Amino acid sequence: MAGILSNKKIGIIGGGITGVVTAIFLARAGNKVTIFDKNKLLSETSSSTTKLLHGGIRYLENLQIKEVRNGLNDRHWWLKNFPNNTSAIEIFIPFKNIFSIRFIKYFIGIKLYEFLSFKKKLGSGKIIFGSRNVMKNQEMNFLNFLSFIDGFMDDELLSEKLRDELSQLDVEIYENYEVNDFNLSGAVNNFNFDNVILASGPWNKILLDKNNLKTDKDIDLIKGSHLVIDRKINRAYMFEAICKKRYIFALPYKNNTLLGTTEKRTDSPDTPIIDEDEKDYLIQSYNSFFSKQISSENILYNYSGVRPLIKSNKKNFHNSSRDFYIDQNEKLICVFGGKWTTAPSIAKKIVTIINNG
């Protein structure tokens, strides 16, 4: 990465994807970086995703154009830098009726999504009308589809690669090390830094409150759960959940199906566990689209994480932005929100702040 070299001592609280990618960018820029995590690196929210590298096609519904554009740029960064652990994935959206507003809306949305990718487009989506020949091996009760192309990652391998990069860059790592005290003057427990970055995702607000530090952003803790189902599917799908307000992904995953996600407000980011109603919601949503039905007996395992969404005054948090916000107060820089995909954008902004500081 080109840019001005700085030589500062930086402490990062939280080794999720935000902390890890920020550490890599800061170390590449010449800084001496230390990461603290109360657990293992990349073991919390960052290990519970749908594994998509994306701009978020559904955010176009809320006209979050800038956010989608940033996500698409970052998607390109991941696919370019980690070609062995990422790939393009074609995702099919089923439609009962092609003569519908919904179909037209989606068609326009996909074209806009492709346009916003500019030269970083991964390919063009398809329109498939009523032909069982095109969609060989019919798995769904539908004949019409629109498709679009996004990024997919092997997050386990990618996490190993990122960890290797941290050690090559001599980033100091403290795992199973809980930070309790930090302040605006660069102190983290008994350490002192030129700058401290708070990247503890869904724990950010709790840690700030504990240390009597104020910010102008708050966090909405939204739990999301996935099921891994013992069904092999040939294609990736995005379809309406039974609530009709959200979309569910069913993705081919290690000869099984990755099904997710739910969105449920929660009080605490600690040890999220799937509820029975979330399992039912995912199973019923799957059964309303796929021809071969499933029950809870088909669940191989499940996992849950808590999204650190920036709190908005929108009534429906499903429409909340996945954008990020960086707040600086003296030596402390706090990151709110973001996605796995947008960690490089967050990291670049922090490097700029530190270089100019």
Ligand X SMILES: Cc1cc2nc3c(=O)[nH]c(=O)nc-3n(C[C@H](O)[C@H](O)[C@H](O)COP(=O)(O)OP(=O)(O)OC[C@H]3O[C@@H](n4cnc5c(N)ncnc54)[C@H](O)[C@@H]3O)c2cc1C
User: Which residue stretch of 196-204, 229-237, 273-281, 294-302 sits at the interface with ligand X (rule: CB under 6 A)?
Assistant: 196-204
Is residue 148 within 8 Å of residue 235, measured between CB atoms?
no
The answer to whether 201 contacts ligand X (rule: CB under 6 A) is: yes
Q: How far is the CB of 303 from ligand X (least distance, A)?
A: 8
Say if strands 264-265 and 236-240 run parallel, antiparallel, or are unpaired: unpaired
> Are the C-beta atoms of residues 265 and 249 closer than 8 Å to each other?
no
Q: Cβ closer to ligand X: 274 or 294?
A: 274
Tell me how far, at minimum, the Cβ of 18 lies from ligand X, in Å: 4
Exposure b/e, 283-296, CB count within 10 A at least 16 = b: bebbeebbeeebee
Examine residue 18 and say whether the peptide bond preceding it is cis (omega within 30 degrees of 0): no
Per-residue contact flags (x/-) with ligand X for residues 1 to 30, judged by CB under 6 A = ------------xxxxxxx-----------
Using the contact rule CB under 6 A, the part of the chain among 24-32, 110-118, 129-137, 300-308 near ligand X is 300-308
Taking the complex as a whole, the smallest distance from the CB of residue 98 to ligand X amounts, in Å, to 28
Q: Is 344 in the site for ligand X (CB under 6 A)?
A: no
The one among 31, 34, 45, 117 contacting ligand X by CB under 6 A: 45
| Site membership for ligand X, residue 39 (CB under 6 A) | yes
Query: Can you state the angle between helices 343-356 and 65-81, rounded to 10 degrees?
Result: 100
Q: What is the smallest separation between the CB atom of 291 and ligand X, expressed in angstroms?
A: 26
Whether the CB-CB separation of 173 and 166 falls below 8 Å is answered with: yes
Distance between CA atoms of residues 97 and 129, nearest Å: 10
Selected range binding ligand X among 26-34, 41-49, 62-70, 119-127, rule: CB under 6 A: 41-49
Beta-carbon-side half-sphere exposure of residue 260 (alpha carbons within 13 Å): 24
Q: Are 34 and 190 spatial neighbours (Cβ–Cβ below 8 Å)?
A: no
Helix or strand or coil: residue 348? helix
Q: Which two tokens stand for residue 210?
A: 């504990």
Nearest partner of 236 among 151, 120, 143, 346, judged by Cα: 151
Stretch that binds ligand X, among 31-39, 111-119, 156-164, 213-221 (CB under 6 A): 31-39
Q: Does 94 bind ligand X (CB under 6 A)?
A: no
Q: Under the criterion CB under 6 A, does residue 186 sit at the interface with ligand X?
A: no
**Rounded to 5°, angle at Cα 326 from 320 and 330:** 145
Q: How many CB atoms lie within 10 A of CB 242?
A: 17
Tokens of 293: 């039905």
Nearest CB to ligand X, comparing residues 78 and 92 = 78
Smallest gap from Cβ 286 to ligand X, in A, equals 16
Site residues (CB under 6 A) for ligand X, limited to 232-291: 261
Nearest to 44 by CA among 192, 190, 224, 217: 224
Choose the stretch contacting ligand X; rule: CB under 6 A; options: 49-57, 132-140, 163-171, 288-296.
49-57
Shortest spacing between CB 178 and ligand X, in angstroms: 5
Residue from 156, 160, 178, 330 touching ligand X (CB under 6 A): that is 178
Q: Which of 24, 44, 110, 274 binds ligand X (CB under 6 A)?
A: 44
Q: Are 173 and 15 in contact (CB under 8 A)?
A: yes
> Residue 34 interacts with ligand X (CB under 6 A)?
no
128/179 with CB nearer ligand X: 179
User: Which residues between 303 and 342 bind ligand X (CB under 6 A)?
Assistant: 305-308, 338-341
Binding status of residue 156 toward ligand X by CB under 6 A: no
* Structural element, H or E, at residue 71: helix 65-81
Could you list the residues that contact ligand X (CB under 6 A)? 13-19, 36-39, 43-46, 48-52, 178-179, 199-203, 207, 224, 261, 305-308, 338-341
